[in-house]
């Protein structure tokens, strides 16, 4: 299972770019005062980096499952302009998840999917 998680997360690292566009509460895209970098590591973890242009508001990081249940929440103080977090997804069940980074009324969302890899049975004759 670790290998499949690593493969999927590595593939997502190529898909999820450093972004400077967010969606406001009305659903329209707008330029933001913060950027995010979300990617996977070789060890199957997810790194979340945030850089804010200003420090007037705290930042919230949410990890939600496919039913919308919040599995992880962290609020970073408003004075932190650059910071990173590493999320361990080893204990998560297969499914689709969302990472949301929220600053004031701007939200950046990235999704990833965890699947289990089918393993072939190996027979060795000695």
Q: Please say whether the beta carbons of 122 and 8 come within 8 A.
A: no
Which residues, in sequence order, are CB contacts of 74 under 8 Å at separation 6+?
A: 60, 61, 85
Q: Which long-range contacts (C-beta less than 8 Å, at least 24 apart) are formed by 71-79?
A: 71/97, 76/50, 79/55
Quote the CA–CA distance of 94 and 89 in Å, as a whole number.
Answer: 10
What does the pLDDT average to over 6-13?
A: 48
**What are the residue boundaries of the structural domains of the chain, listed by start?**
2-114
Q: Is 8 in a helix, a strand, or coil?
A: helix
Q: Are 76 and 59 contacting, i.e. CB atoms less than 8 angstroms apart? A: yes
Token output for 75: 């609020």
In Å, what is the CA distance from 89 to each residue of 6, 45, 122, 126? 10, 6, 28, 38
- pLDDT for residue 5: 53
pLDDT digits (tens, 9 = 90+) for 78-91: 888 888 999 988 88
Given a cut of 70, is residue 52 above it in pLDDT?
yes
**pLDDT class of 23 with cuts at 50, 70, 90:** low
pTM of the model: 0.66
Structure tokens of 43?
């060890």
Percent of the chain with pLDDT over 70: 74
Where does residue 99 rank: exposed (0-12), middle (13-18), buried (19+ CB within 10 A)? buried
CATH class label, 2-114: mainly beta
């Amino acid at each position: 299972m670790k290998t499949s998680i690593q493969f999927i997360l590595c593939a997502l690292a190529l898909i999820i770019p450093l972004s400077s566009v967010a969606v406001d509460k009305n659903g329209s895209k707008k330029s933001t005062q913060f950027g995010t970098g979300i990617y996977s590591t070789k060890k199957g973890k997810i790194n979340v980096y945030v850089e804010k242009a200003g420090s007037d508001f705290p930042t919230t990081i949410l990890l939600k499952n496919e039913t919308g249940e919040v599995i992880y929440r962290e609020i970073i103080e408003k004075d932190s302009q650059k910071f990173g977090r590493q999320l361990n997804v080893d204990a998560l069940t297969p499914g689709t998840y969302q990472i949301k980074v929220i600053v004031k009324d701007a939200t950046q969302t990235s999704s990833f999917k965890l699947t289990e890899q089918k393993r072939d049975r190996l027979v060795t004759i000695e």
